[in-house]
Amino acid sequence: MEINNFKAYCDQFDRAATELGLDENLAALLKYPDRELSVELPLIREDGSLKVFRGYRIQHNDARGPCKGGLRFHPQVDIDEVRALSALMTFKTALVNIPFGGAKGGIHIDPTELTSRELEQLTRTFVRAISPIIGVHTDIPAPDMNTNAQIMAWIMDEYSQTHGYSPGIVTGKPISLGGSKGREEATGVGVSIALREAAKCRNIPLEGASVVIQGYGNVGSWAARTLHSYGCRIIAVSDASGGIFNPNGIDIPELQLHLKNSGSIHNSSLAEPIDNDSLLCLECDFLIPAALGGVIHKMNAECLNCKMVIEGANGPTTPTADEVLWRKNIPVIPDILANAGGVIVSYYEWVQNLQRHYWEEEEISTKMEKKLVDSFYEMSALAHSKKELSYRTAAFMISINRVASAVQMRGRTT
């Protein structure tokens, strides 16, 4: 990788802090995580052997509310990645103005190598290991790459065994355990709303607009389904093993059916295979990276052939690639805005858990859409107010200001 995730985030933060003229010491206080926990996780495998995994929970900042952020189970997880992702959560929750701080966690693991029972055991061990620092009013985990509602259910159960019934300890739970209607699809729907508003700003008609999506997991597949319902043409999608391409547009409901029946997006008559590198360079109106960080970098940014990038993933564009895209006049709608639909609905899930009172889906989706659209126009108004300001720097400026104000008003700088 061209640059590590934390350095990439620091570069983004520094640009905005410089633009704001932020005091050097305050900037340092806001830039780095408040607390980092690294844990060893022993697992007795079903064959009787012992395997030890490394896990992390990092709390970046809690000045505006309890820390909030997902858990990632992936072989690329390391402390720098979790640091960067925890910081992005602080500035994401501040940008969309929900009363949370930022955190992130994860385990360095390929979860496909474990049986379901082993995964459950490891998840429970992880909860016990990080339980000194998480809590309903201190730090609330959620799903991220390779974690899902079932894993959130195990987390809720493990934590509740020692703290009493605590649905508010985690979001992204199954609805039957206090999860929120609309949470599963919230991030992908939010990405689609961000794209829709960005299309209006650039006068690109949504009907027939061509879209390429990297990653067909939770975020990518819900973005595909929503954008398909808006009338967009999803011409290519991918997963870790490769992509599929159909210039006329993939029939997304049929692809969902194929995925459900075969367990894969590949090997159907709906589209032709395409490799993951070529997919990123396809000519299209919108490119949505919805998998890993750092995938648009200095080696491939020149080849991008889209009109806009909408960041479904966290940290998919490196700072060097950002500069290349700026020069090519390809605007980037940044992760902290584009994928914030998930954390907004997570916030509503937590509120419902605290109230023990549950809302209808329409109420949740209307509230989420308003928050996202308001935040979009706040960010774009600032970006358009100055010649050399990207959407990303504008988004960071708004959110850094909010966090700085909370830190100062709480007396943490005196």
Among 214, 317, 352, 380, binds ligand NAD (CB under 6 A): 214
Quick one: which segment of 3-11, 56-64, 138-146, 244-252 binds ligand NAD (CB under 6 A)? 138-146
Among 140, 152, 193, 219, binds ligand NAD (CB under 6 A): 219
Among 33, 69, 106, 143, binds ligand NAD (CB under 6 A): 143
> Which one, 68 or 307, has the nearer CB to ligand NAD?
68
Instruction: Tell me the closest approach of the beta carbon of residue 70 to ligand NAD, in angstroms.
Output: 6
- In the region spanning residues 181 to 210, those forming contacts with ligand NAD, defined by CB under 6 A, are 187
Instruction: Tell me the closest approach of the beta carbon of residue 143 to ligand NAD, in angstroms.
Output: 5
In one letter, which amino acid is 199? A
- In the region spanning residues 257 to 296, those forming contacts with ligand NAD, defined by CB under 6 A, are 276, 290-292
User: Is 260 tagged catalytic?
Assistant: no
- In the region spanning residues 368 to 407, those forming contacts with ligand NAD, defined by CB under 6 A, are none
> Which one, 219 or 404, has the nearer CB to ligand NAD?
219
Task: Kindly list the distances between the CA atom of residue 25 and the CA atoms of 21, 398, 406, in Å, as whole numbers in the listed order.
Answer: 12, 19, 15
Quick one: which segment of 106-114, 213-221, 251-259, 360-368 binds ligand NAD (CB under 6 A)? 213-221
Separation CA 224–CA 220 (nearest Å): 6
> Which one, 256 or 408, has the nearer CB to ligand NAD?
256
Number of chain positions touching ligand NAD (CB under 6 A): 24
Quick one: which segment of 40-48, 117-125, 132-140, 237-245 binds ligand NAD (CB under 6 A)? 237-245
In one letter, which amino acid is 237? V
Instruction: Tell me the closest approach of the beta carbon of residue 120 to ligand NAD, in angstroms.
Output: 18
Counting contacts by CB under 6 A, is residue 174 touching ligand NAD? no
Counting contacts by CB under 6 A, is residue 339 touching ligand NAD? yes
Instruction: Tell me the closest approach of the beta carbon of residue 39 to ligand NAD, in angstroms.
Output: 21
Task: Kindly list the distances between the CA atom of residue 389 and the CA atoms of 15, 282, 382, 413, in Å, as whole numbers in the listed order.
Answer: 10, 27, 8, 29
Task: Kindly list the distances between the CA atom of residue 279 and the CA atoms of 219, 272, 299, in Å, as whole numbers in the listed order.
Answer: 18, 12, 15
Counting contacts by CB under 6 A, is residue 73 touching ligand NAD? no
> Which one, 22 or 172, has the nearer CB to ligand NAD?
172
- How distant is the alpha carbon of residue 230 from its chain centre? 22
Beta bridge partners of 237: 213, 244
Among 215, 249, 319, 334, binds ligand NAD (CB under 6 A): 215
Task: Kindly list the distances between the CA atom of residue 78 and the CA atoms of 56, 81, 163, 293, in Å, as whole numbers in the listed order.
Answer: 8, 5, 29, 13
At 54, is the secondary structure helix, strand, or coil? strand
Q: Which tokens in the block code for residue 78?
A: 């390391």
Nearest CA to 142 out of 167, 115, 108, 125 is that of 167
DSSP assignments along 189-231, one per residue: HHHHHHHHHHHHHTT--STT-EEEEE--SHHHHHHHHHHHHTT
Is 71:106 a contact under the CB 8 Å cutoff?
A: yes
Counting contacts by CB under 6 A, is residue 145 touching ligand NAD? yes
Separation CA 60–CA 87 (nearest Å): 5
In one letter, which amino acid is 196? R
> Which one, 130 or 212, has the nearer CB to ligand NAD?
212
Catalytic residue among 68, 104, 181, 371: 104
Beta bridge partners of 191: none
Nearest CA to 105 out of 138, 127, 137 is that of 127
Instruction: Tell me the closest approach of the beta carbon of residue 207 to ligand NAD, in angstroms.
Output: 26
Contacts of 347 (CB under 8 A, 6+ apart): 68, 93, 98, 99, 100, 171
Counting contacts by CB under 6 A, is residue 90 touching ligand NAD? no
Q: Which residue is nearest to ligand NAD (CB)?
A: 217
Among 240, 257, 299, 381, binds ligand NAD (CB under 6 A): 240
Active site residues: 104
- By CB under 6 A, name the binding residues for ligand NAD: 143-146, 187, 214-220, 238-240, 276, 290-292, 312-314, 339, 342
